Amino acid sequence: MSGLNASIGYFLTVLAVGLSVRALLRKWPRLGFLSELSGSLVLAACWLEVQTIVEVGQWAGGLGPDVTVTMLFLVLLSHGVVCGGGAGNPGMALLRFLSLDEGATLPTTVLALAAQFLGAHGGLLAAGYYWRMELTDMHLIKNLMSSSCSSSLLVSPAQGFFTEFICALGFYLVHLSLRRRSALIQVPVAAVLLTFMSHSASGYTSAYINPALAYAMTFQCSGSTLGQYALVYWLGPLTGMTVALFLYMGHIPRIFMKNLLYSQKTRFRVPKAEQGDKKKK
């Protein structure tokens, strides 16, 4: 249990950083891009520690799959509450841009994307620093293994692309249908959905559905080329997001306004009696 206690302390410390940034942004709202940076950092740093429990915890600390699934759900739930459900995900930033959301201009979107990848790299550095402290046997072993990490891509690039595409399509369709609901509904649903997809796709790609997170989790590992990783973890979820937006709205507002899927006709018809009265007049 000492390994689990150390991990919980690490999670709380990282989440406290996210809370501090959020409190800071209330005073300086012009630095809004920092929310994307901190959100990406928190998510990457915490998910890397969950991955440590997955890889080493079972035989170094007696932590089984039930613990790892629970920890991942709690991390995602806490991240959604502290940082905002979409913070740190390039797919969400591009979704807002394509949807013509207020404030989602090209410069702000590019800045958000840069901040997200910078935050993911910061999370990778933070997790590496924590492992080098070797507070428990689990982290001692992880530190020894960190130079030769195992890739999350366990299938061919084509299968990986299809896996990330399908998971992203389902996730963004749910997100779009709930985007006007309260955060009390959005955040838990997103945490449950992402946990389920990640656990179900653990033997394929781990279904990160987040290009910045995938960069921190697996781009540093050998086993696939940069082009193959980009195809699976960048192009796959972004294609799924775009298709989900098109299926949900019938068009891509940033690209074209004509609705190709849904009729714009009114649902209500004028009663025949009223039509007859108008003709007599």
Summarize pLDDT for 51-68 with one digit per residue, the tens.
999 888 776 666 788 889
Kindly state the percentage of the chain with pLDDT values over 70.
Answer: 91
Residue 263 pLDDT: 76
Kindly state the percentage of the chain with pLDDT values over 90.
Answer: 64
Q: Render pLDDT for 160-188 as a digit per residue (tens, 0 to 9).
A: 999 999 999 999 999 999 988 998 999 99
d(CA 77, CA 96): 22
Residue 42 pLDDT: 95
d(CA 232, CA 72): 22
Residue 64 pLDDT: 81
Residue 268 pLDDT: 43
- Using only the alpha carbons of the chain, give its radius of gyration: 22
Query: Which of 172, 157, 171 lies closest to 235, judged by CA?
Result: 157
Region of residue 232 (left: phi > 0; alpha: psi -120 to 50; beta: else):
alpha
* pLDDT(271) > 70: no
Residue 145 pLDDT: 82
Which H helix or E strand runs over 136?
A: none
Q: Which domains does the chain have, with CATH numbers?
A: 2-249 (1.20.1080.10)
d(CA 71, CA 68): 5
Query: Which of 43, 68, 73 lies closest to 55, judged by CA?
Result: 68
What is the residue-averaged pLDDT of the chain?
Answer: 88
Residue 255 pLDDT: 92
Q: Which residue has the higher pLDDT, 269 or 199?
A: 199
Report CA torsion sign: 68, 69, 72, 74.
negative
* pLDDT(149) > 90: no
Of 37-41, 93-97, 119-123, 273-277, which gets the smallest average pLDDT?
Answer: 273-277
